[in-house]
């Protein structure tokens, strides 16, 4: 760990950095998956989904940045390469062979919901470790993930 004047105990910071690193990989994975969906969606709802997936990608870039910067604030090293993400992500792989709007809606809403669960668990974990600032960052991300999960799911619900 890098030296810092942050007053959280080093043991706490190390545990929080590990949690942040796991969620960084997951959020980066989601960020890349949203581009996969954005580029490859086809069908009658193309433009609506194409633009929505791009908005989610922009939001996910913010999630990634928030998590990476918190790692640095605590004295860690943010690992944001494709290789580090692939090695560390806990997300299910995003399918690369789908094209329909319905398939992308299903895949992306499932991925966002999984990230939401993982982020909510991270809120509890970091709060119990005494790092309310990191818990607050995860809370901010959770609200955004839930919003975009809803936006994507709404496309499937309209077809019911």
**Mean pLDDT score of the chain, rounded to an integer?**
96
Across 89-95, average pLDDT: 98
Which residue in the block uniquely carries the two structure tokens 């509890």? 124
pLDDT at residue 159, rounded to an integer: 57
Q: Which two tokens stand for residue 22?
A: 């796991």
pLDDT more than 90, % of the chain: 96
Residue 41 sits at φ, ψ, to 5 deg, of -70, 140
In a domain, 4, yes or no: no
Would you say 59 and 144 are in contact if contact means Cβ atoms under 8 Å apart? Answer: yes
Across 109-123, average pLDDT: 98
Dihedral sign computed on CA atoms, order 34, 144, 75, 1: negative
Instruction: Return the CA Rg of the chain.
Output: 17
- As a whole number of angstroms, the distance between CA 76 and CA 105 comes to 35
Residue 88 sits at φ, ψ, to 5 deg, of -110, -20
Q: What residue numbers bound the domain in which 31 lies?
A: 10-157
- As a whole number of angstroms, the distance between CA 40 and CA 48 comes to 13
Residue 82 has pLDDT above 70, yes or no: yes
Assign residue 58 the CATH number of its domain.
1.20.1260.10
In a domain, 96, yes or no: yes
In a domain, 3, yes or no: no
pLDDT at residue 78, rounded to an integer: 98
pLDDT at residue 158, rounded to an integer: 59
Number of domains in the chain: 1
Of the candidates 153, 19, 5, 140, the one whose C-alpha atom is nearest the C-alpha of residue 75 is: 5
Query: pLDDT tens-digit profile of 20-62?
Result: 999 999 999 999 999 999 999 999 999 999 999 999 999 999 9
Across 67-72, average pLDDT: 98
pLDDT band with cut points at 50, 70 and 90 for residue 157? confident
Cα 65 to chain center, whole Å? 10
- As a whole number of angstroms, the distance between CA 97 and CA 159 comes to 22
pLDDT at residue 156, rounded to an integer: 87
Would you say 85 and 68 are in contact if contact means Cβ atoms under 8 Å apart? Answer: no
pLDDT more than 70, % of the chain: 98
In a domain, 67, yes or no: yes
């Amino acid at each position: 760990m890098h030296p810092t004047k942050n007053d959280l105990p080093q043991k706490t910071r190390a545990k929080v950095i590990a949690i942040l690193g796991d969620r960084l990989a997951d959020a980066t994975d989601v960020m890349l998956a949203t581009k996969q969906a954005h580029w490859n969606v086809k069908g009658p709802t193309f433009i609506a989904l194409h633009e929505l997936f791009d908005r989610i990608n922009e939001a996910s870039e913010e999630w990634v940045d928030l998590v990476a910067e918190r790692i640095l604030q605590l004295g860690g090293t943010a690992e944001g390469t494709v290789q580090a993400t692939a090695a560390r992500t806990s997300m299910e792989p995003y399918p690369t062979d789908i094209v329909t709007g319905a398939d992308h809606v299903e895949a992306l809403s499932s991925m966002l919901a999984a990230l939401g669960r993982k982020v909510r668990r991270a809120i509890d974990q970091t709060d119990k470790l005494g790092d309310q600032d990191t818990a607050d960052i995860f809370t901010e991300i959770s609200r955004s993930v839930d919003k975009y999960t809803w936006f994507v799911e709404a496309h499937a619900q309209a077809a019911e």
